[in-house]
Amino acid sequence: MDKKSSINDELCEFPWQKCYPDGVDWAGDFVGKQHFHLLDQSVKDYSSLICTSFVGKDLTYQEIGLRVDKLAAGLQKMGIGKGHKVGLFLPNSPTYVCFYFAILKTGATVVNYNPLYTVEELTFQVKDSGTSHMVTLDLEILFEKCEALMVNNVLNNTIVASFPSLLPPVKSLLFKLFKGKDLAKISASSQADKCIFEEDLLKTEAKLKPVEINPETDIAVLQYTGGTTGRPKGAMLTHGNISIQTEQIMRACVSLRRGEEVTMGILPFFHVFAMTVVLNLGVGIGARLLLMPKFEMQDALKLMRKERPTLMPGVPTLFNALCNLEKAPLNELENLRLCISGGAPLPPDLIDEFAKICPATLVEGYGLSETSPVLTCNPPTGIIKPGSIGIPLPNTIISIRSLDDPSIEMPQGEKGEICASGPQVMPGYWNAKEETDNVFVGEFFRTGDIGYIDEDGYTFIVDRLKDLIISSGYKVYPRHVEDAIYKHEAVEEVTVIGVPNEYRGEVPKAFVKLKEGHSLTKESLMEFLKEKLAKIELPEDIEFRDELPKTMVGKLSKKELRDD
């Protein structure tokens, strides 16, 4: 691979700089902006192009831009502005896109909420963030939770958008006729006086007033972490964090064609990966966003056959599921050019399997809610190293620190905690100074992941610190055990956790889902693993399950297995 011409070898401070593809500059300058300017620029550049496609209804960038400005003016008239927190309790839809940018235009902060959250989970996050208004659809399954929050005086107001209005005219009519029972009866609610309708905001005669926003300090998004190791915390992402993050990805992916890409919107926008790599990146390059309110494989395949997407961010379980379909989806995937995997480790063998059914380049990236989220990625136009999370994005530094003393940087090739600095890293957690202090060492954010950097500057994750199994005093990395199990041809999915053991403290236990039509015994799988794992790494037990627990995003989840 050619070295980037703008940096001479003797001037390379970091090993990854020499591995940057032509046209990508690690040391480029970045200036934080008011993030809604991303949409404003695309409305100017791509006004007549389709921005969102949702269940057969298309809206152009110009139409989206006009709705955003109307909604922002309506929100301002209600008194919403800087200092306010407005929640988005929505599936992927044009409603999410419009309110996301409208809230930012008022100077208020977006707070993302998982539509599958219970009322108890919502209550904690609403109280912790100080969310005053929640945006949702008039679907009973969503509205009833907002109604409960208002009944309990946890939430002040709910802004309700019409789901049928998002559909084409015929589908809208049919939905009202045959699925009317799924719609909430807002007027009959005891909280009707606390509800504001989107259609009324759109009718406002008020003019949008410009707001003074400092990209470096003003919080655009409060993104709550999963809370698997304690109570969820709100990562404060500034306008500068997310505007620069979008620019970093656009510069790193030089093969993206502005105004021509068609992006699959399978991942839910409330998750930071989708918010950035589907929504923000898609809007930034003038892509057409194919929005799925709920992922169903057959619906996704039907949509791919019809719309021919070219870009598809996803999690490993998605790409694995596509590889294990009874009939290979060759026609559905033939137009894909780039697939970006994130959210969980991508098994190296899966890259080869996916290449058999899809012509797209499949690359693995890495990041966290606290980093907007992307820190590293295998370069789509450069060297891709299977098993690696790639090289840092422009202006991003990865540093491997001692597990015993994070102030000490480890030599190249040595394992330690992955730490990162860059303009996309959050300033801290909302109302949590102690937790903020604990995750920073100087300017470097401590990811909680264990890994190393090779001679080319590519980072390899060994495991999560919290997932590390200490067995008889030895470190056992679940990811290493999982990679070995994935090598068996009958295995479709696997999760390994540590379980208590009276003699060894902890031992590995594997949970395995088999491919359809395959059979396997514990004994035969253990025999298969004996040549691939040290004795201390061999699972003490193997449990076969029809399904393994997953998060809303679709990545395998260890939390439920630990709880069991």
What tokens does 407 get?
A: 């102030």
Q: Is the pLDDT of residue 1 over 70?
A: no
Residue pLDDT, tens place only, 122-131: 999 999 999 9
Q: What pLDDT is recorded for position 523?
A: 96
- Taking the C-alpha atoms of residue 191 and residue 469, their distance in angstroms, rounded to an integer, is 49
Q: What pLDDT is recorded for position 228?
A: 39
Q: What is the pLDDT averaged over residues 179-189?
A: 96
**DSSP codes joined into one string, 17-86:** GGGPPTT--TT-------TTHHHHHHHHHSTTSEEEEETTEEEEHHHHHHHHHHHHHHHHHTT--TT-EE
Q: Does residue 39 contact residue 68 with C-beta atoms inside 8 Å?
A: yes
Q: What pLDDT is recorded for position 9?
A: 43
- Taking the C-alpha atoms of residue 488 and residue 301, their distance in angstroms, rounded to an integer, is 27
| pLDDT band, residue 425 (cuts 50/70/90) | very high
Q: What pLDDT is recorded for position 343?
A: 84
Q: What pLDDT is recorded for position 230?
A: 59
Q: What pLDDT is recorded for position 12?
A: 58
| pLDDT band, residue 310 (cuts 50/70/90) | very high
Q: Does residue 297 contact residue 332 with C-beta atoms inside 8 Å?
A: no
The reply to whether omega before 373 is within 30° of 0 (cis) is yes
What tokens does 305 get?
A: 């056959």
What tokens does 87 get?
A: 């929640």
Indicate the SS3 state at residue 346.
coil
Residue pLDDT, tens place only, 512-534: 999 999 999 999 999 999 999 98
CA–chain centroid gap for 365, Å, is 11
Higher confidence at residue 246 or residue 552? 246
CA–chain centroid gap for 14, Å, is 28
Q: What is the pLDDT averaged over residues 229-257?
A: 93
- Taking the C-alpha atoms of residue 247 and residue 253, their distance in angstroms, rounded to an integer, is 10
| pLDDT band, residue 397 (cuts 50/70/90) | very high
Name the least confident of 149-153, 226-230, 273-277, 402-406.
226-230
Q: Is the pLDDT of residue 503 over 80?
A: no
Higher confidence at residue 6 or residue 223? 223
Average pLDDT for the chain: 94
Residue ranges and CATH numbers for the domains of the chain are 38-213 (3.40.50.980), 225-464 (3.40.50.12780), 468-563 (3.30.300.30)
Q: What pLDDT is recorded for position 18?
A: 92
Q: Is the pLDDT of residue 3 over 60?
A: no
Name the least confident of 24-28, 70-74, 185-189.
24-28
What tokens does 474 get?
A: 């030895």
| pLDDT band, residue 11 (cuts 50/70/90) | very low
Residue pLDDT, tens place only, 487-497: 999 999 999 99
Long-range contact pairs involving 477-482 (C-beta distance under 8 Å, separation at least 24): 477/450, 478/508, 479/345, 480/533, 480/537, 481/508, 481/510, 481/533, 481/537, 481/539, 482/345, 482/347, 482/510
Q: What is the pLDDT averaged over residues 80-98?
A: 98
| pLDDT band, residue 84 (cuts 50/70/90) | very high
Q: What pLDDT is recorded for position 473?
A: 73
- Taking the C-alpha atoms of residue 19 and residue 382, their distance in angstroms, rounded to an integer, is 8
Q: Does residue 205 contact residue 74 with C-beta atoms inside 8 Å?
A: no
Q: What is the pLDDT averaged over residues 51-59?
A: 98
